[in-house]
Structure 1
């Protein structure tokens, strides 16, 4: 892979262009850039009459059960009434990926991915949690991971 940095002080704002031969390489580069830029921002979550501020990079995964969203971070589980779609919009990052109708994960927090039955995958996260990736999202995960 070849990389080149061109500094142009006449630009109104920072601009990054990535030219790749494959979509997989492009997705991986975007994921890395995204991780070092937007993931450092805070996320505000309303939980039981309090507002919690957590860093986006601390989010490992999230799942919805009975209209309740549980966000798993490096240190805690946060329960909120926010929807999974709203959370993904707030995260607004290539690092986070919806992997089923009711779950999303941080691809930077995956320890390993294992095959499951009927074409699904199981992601084992750094906090020990298992996240099921439905067949519908397997190709998207593979693309983001570059496999």
Structure 2
């Protein structure tokens, strides 16, 4: 792949343009850039223990169990009443992907993806967690990871 940096001083300060013939390569480049630009952003979570501030990039996955959202980070499990859709909206990032009706994950924390029953996949995460990817979301995950 050939890459080139062209500086265009006529662009606004907060604009970067990326040109690619291949959509998957373009999406992967945007995901990498997103990974480095969102890593320092914090997320405020209200839980039973009070208000907790975590770095977005520390989130490994999140899942709803018994109407409670549990956010799994590198070191903690944080329970909150926040909806999964609200969390996804706050993350607003190419780094995070909803993989079932009740779960989402950080694609940069995936170590391995394995086939499972009836078209589902299992993602083995960096800190030992396993996340089931529902058939409905398999194509989105494959596209995001650049798997054909």
- TM class by shorter chain equals over 0.9
Deviation digits for residues 102-122 of structure 1 (CA, Å, limit 9, x no counterpart):
000000000100000100000
Deviates more, 1:127-136 or 1:43-52: 43-52
Give CA-to-partner distance per residue, 1:19-43, whole Å, 9 cap, x none. Answer: 2222211111111010000232000
Compute the displacement of 1:49 (Å). Answer: 5.0
Q: Indicate how the Cα distance of structure 1 residues 128 and 49 shifts in structure 2: closer, same or farther if over 3 A, else same.
A: closer
C-alpha separation in 1, matches of 2:14 and 2:49 = 39
Deviating above 4 A after TM superposition, structure 1's stretches of 4 or more consecutive aligned residues are none
Task: Compute the TM-score of the two structures, normalised by the length of structure 2.
Answer: 0.95
Partner of 1:88: 88
- 1:109-144, Cα deviation, whole Å (9 max, x unpaired): 001000001000000001111000001100100011
Larger RCO, structures 1/2 (Cα 8 Å, 6+ apart): 1
Conservation of the 8 A alpha-carbon contact between 1:122 and 1:130: yes
Pairs within 5 Å for 1:34-73: 34-48=34-48, 50-73=50-73
TM-score of the superposed pair, with normalisation by structure 1: 0.95
Gaps of 5+ in 1: none
- Measure, in 1, the Cα distance between the counterparts of 2:14 and 2:102: 36
Q: CA RMSD in A?
A: 1.1
Is the contact made by 1:111 and 1:126 (CA closer than 8 Å) also made in structure 2? Answer: yes
Q: Residue 132 of structure 1 aligns with which residue?
A: 132
CA shift digits 1:38-84 (9 cap, x unpaired): 23200000011511110001000000112100000000000000000
- Tell me, in whole angstroms, the C-alpha distance in 1 between the residues paired with 2:22 and 2:48: 46
